[in-house]
Amino acid sequence: MSSAFHIHIGGAGVRIGDMLWKLYEKEYNEATQNNYIYEEVDGNHYPLALFFDTDDGMIHEVQRNKSIKYKKHSFLHGKEEALTYARGKYTVGREVTEQAIDCIRKQIETMSRLDEFVITCSISGGTGSGCLSFLSQVLDQKFENKSKQNGFIIFPSSEMSNNVVGPYNAVFSLYTMIDDLQSVTMFDNQSMYNVIDYQLELDFVDYQHLNNLVAQVISSYTGLRRFNNCDNSKFLSNLCPYPRVKYLIPSYGKMTLINDYARTELQETQFIQYLTKKKCQLYQCPINPYLITSALLFRQKQLNPSFGQYDLTLNNLDHFFGQSSNIFQCAASNYQVLPEFAQMKLTGSYFSNDASIASRFKQLRESFCKIRQKRAFHQWYNGEGLEDCEFQEAHDYLQSLEGDYNSVRSFDNSQIENSNNYEL
């Protein structure tokens, strides 16, 4: 029996976890493989999850929700926010992360097979960036290659920010994700606001709506296993052809408001056209897509083995390897946690590994350089155990990652045939 263990880190990670487990709870009765994510004891089901944060605010909020039975040791917190990557990794977050590792070890000791860790956090803040970095390194060493780590991570937005050191935190965190995470599905708040504006007419949008999007994407992915007992271990790994080219852009649709009485279901072709639009991407790049790999994961109650197989939109998408999108289906109903959303018959997520992501890495690196040129906030990092040279190393890593993606773009088809030695 295989399982997944969910880890929710820092304010955003914990709030997303809260939304996700509320969604899982709604899906519980229809899912057939609940032991993938729950421990079932005496007729009760307990999430296989750990929520942890350096401060207690968000954790207490999740604990107040009594509709889900969590185990007592599913929560850990410290006393103050970390604010910077350095404090999250080396000082304020260190002890709570060590406790978290111990707690995870105890919880998973009893599992016969742990397939993966599903991790949620934002890497703009100190806890998400720093604790994730330390935690994922230790998990990687402890579990070697047996259990994959798949991150569903909020990156800084390109224009909108409420954290001045967000670019520092994110770049340092990215630097330490090199080897440890198998895949990183990326979101940013500005893109998610754009998607919500495009799909819905809401007067007021808050983190709940954004977190609902992230939760729906994760639920589509784990749903393959929970509803259909389909081995999802290949889903994300097939999207990541090289160890460093593992940053995925998700899209989600279609959301509809419950009070939209004129709402209609999209037909197959319309749905695919809609979902593969740039406007539905939850991490949007300023340049046109250049697909390396992609996968469509749709959900509807009735199985339809030929769904999308002959669709022209999908067939016309150019991919680096010349292959078309992989198509997966989750035979399940759509559930919604937020009361303003309608349950649709057909929903889906589209994951793309897209070389245009280099443009966002470049923007992030430029924001990092802008603060660094003035040596602004250096002391918040130096004083907490980070060496001066690590600023340069993290910067250079990100630049080389951009290079990896840019070299994919510059390849033409004749080169691909001779690309056996091509290493990224």
Which residues are near Mg ion by CB under 5 A? 11, 81, 127
Q: How far is the CB of 103 from Mg ion (least distance, A)?
A: 19
Closer CB to ligand GTP, 128 or 308, in the complex = 128
When the beta carbons of 143 and 380 are compared against ligand GTP, the nearer one is 380
Which of Mg ion, ligand GTP, none is residue 163 near (CB under 5 to 8 Å by kind)?
ligand GTP
When binding is defined by CB under 6 A, the residue of 74, 97, 120, 122 that contacts ligand GTP is 122
163 near ligand GTP (CB under 6 A):
yes
Radius of gyration from C-alpha coordinates of the chain: 21
Residue 309 interacts with ligand GTP (CB under 6 A): yes or no: no
- 275 lies in the binding site for ligand GTP (CB under 6 A): no
In one-letter notation, the amino acid at residue 403 is: G
Considering the rule CB under 6 A, would residue 211 count as an interface residue with ligand GTP?
yes
Helical packing angle, 92-109 and 132-143, nearest 10°: 30
Size, binding site for ligand GTP by CB under 6 A: 24
CB of residue 386 to Mg ion, shortest distance in Å: 19
Cβ 214 to ligand GTP shortest distance, Å: 7
d(CA 178, CA 397): 9
Contacts of 311 (CB under 8 A, 6+ apart): 268, 269, 272
The string over 118-156, giving b where at least 16 C-beta atoms fall within 10 Å of a residue's C-beta and e elsewhere, is bbbbbbbbbbbbbbbbbbbebbbeebeeebbbbbbbbbb
Tell me: does residue 15 bind ligand GTP (CB under 6 A).
yes
Relative to beta strand 49-53, strand 148-155 is unpaired
Binding status of residue 128 toward ligand GTP by CB under 6 A: yes
Q: Which two tokens stand for residue 140?
A: 């990687």
**Distance (Å, whole) CA 34 – CA 15:** 22
Is residue 217 within the footprint of ligand GTP (CB under 6 A)? no
- Using rule CB under 6 A, residue 207 touches ligand GTP: yes
CA distance 168 to 211: 24
The option from Mg ion, ligand GTP, none interacting with 83 (CB < 5 to 8 A, set by class) reads ligand GTP
Residue spans of beta strands (DSSP E) within 16-160: 38-41, 44-47, 49-53, 75-77, 113-122, 148-155
Is position 189 an interface residue for ligand GTP (rule: CB under 6 A)? yes
Side-chain-facing half-sphere of 325: CA atoms under 13 Å:
29
348 binds, among Mg ion, ligand GTP, none (CB under 5 to 8 A by kind): none
Q: C-alpha dihedral over 48, 58, 18, 221, to 10 degrees? A: -80
* 154 lies in the site for ligand GTP, by CB under 6 A: yes
| Residue 154 binds which of ligand GTP, Mg ion, none (CB < 5-8 A, kind-dependent) | ligand GTP
Q: How far is the CB of 30 from ligand GTP (least distance, A)?
A: 27
Contacts with ligand GTP by CB under 6 A lie at: 10-12, 15, 53-54, 81-83, 88, 121-122, 124-128, 154, 162-163, 189, 207, 210-211
